[in-house]
Amino acid sequence: MISIIIPTLNEEKSLGNTLAKLRGRFSTPHEVIISDGKSSDRTVEIARAGADKVVAYDRPERQTIAQGRNDGARAAVGEFLVFLDADCTIPDPDVFFKKILAHFERDPELIAVNVAIRVLPEAETFADWAIYNLFNDYLWLMNNVLHVGMAAGEFQMMRTTAFKQVGGYNEKLVASEDIDLFARLSKVGKVRYEKGLVIHHTGRRAHKIGWPKLLSLWIMNAVSMWFRKKAFVSEWKPIR
C-alpha cells in the first residue's frame, strides 16, 4: 500500500484539484492523508470530503512543513510513503505509481525516488521550462551519478522502513528539509531520480516573487544546508 501525505495550510484553491486527480483511475492500493497546519479557509472541509484521513495540528506555534509531513507519516499504514505538495498533480496516477513500484520491486536496495518536476502546461513560462530542465538534470546528477541525495519537496517517495530508520524530516528546519532528508537517506540505501516520470505543479512561488529571487533563495538555502546544517532563511512564507 502507498500512503500519500499532503501537508496543507490554506490550500483551498489547489487541494480539490490535487485530490480529484489522485482519485481518478488509480487502482493501486493507497490512502490519502492530509496533514493540516491550522488552515483558516476551506482546506479542512475539502480534505474531509476527498481524503482518507485528516491530521490536524493543534499546537500554538506555527507548524513547519517538516512537522506537517512527519505528522502525516505517523498516521500512515503504507509500505511506501509519498510526500506531495498540495498544488501538485500527477497526470495519470495509476501508470505513474505502477512504474515507480516496478523500480522498487526490481531493486531491493532502492529506498527512495524522486521524479521530474514541471509547471502545469497551461501556466508554464519559458523561464519555467528552462529552469526546471536544468533543475531536473541536477537531480539526476546528484542522485544517479554522485549518489549524495537531492530532492525537491513537490514529490518524494520512499520505503516507510527507510523513512523511520533516518528519523523522518528534521522538524527544526523551516526550509530545505527535503534536501536534508534525501541526503540522509542516501547514506543508508540507494536513492534515484526517475527522468521518465513527471509531476506538475502551479509554479506559484516563482510566478509571484520572480525567478531571480527564488533561485537566490534556493541556492542560499542549499549552501547553508551543506555547510551549516540549517536553512539560510528563518521563515518560508506561504504563497497562495
* Residue-averaged pLDDT of the chain: 93
**The three grid cell numbers given for residue 226, joined into one nine-digit string:** 551543506
Type of residue at 106: R
Q: Residues 137-188: pLDDT tens digits?
A: 999 999 999 999 999 999 999 999 999 999 999 998 888 899 999 999 999 9
Q: Residues 189-234: pLDDT tens digits?
A: 999 999 899 999 999 999 999 999 998 888 887 777 777 777 767 6
CATH number of the domain at 2-203, please? Answer: 3.90.550.10
* Domain ranges (residues) in the chain: 2-203
pLDDT for residue 234? 67
**The three grid cell numbers given for residue 223, joined into one nine-digit string:** 549552501
Q: What angle do CA 59, 183, 175 make, to 5 degrees?
A: 40
Provide the whole-model pTM: 0.93
* Nearest CA-CA partner of 153 in 135, 167, 130: 135
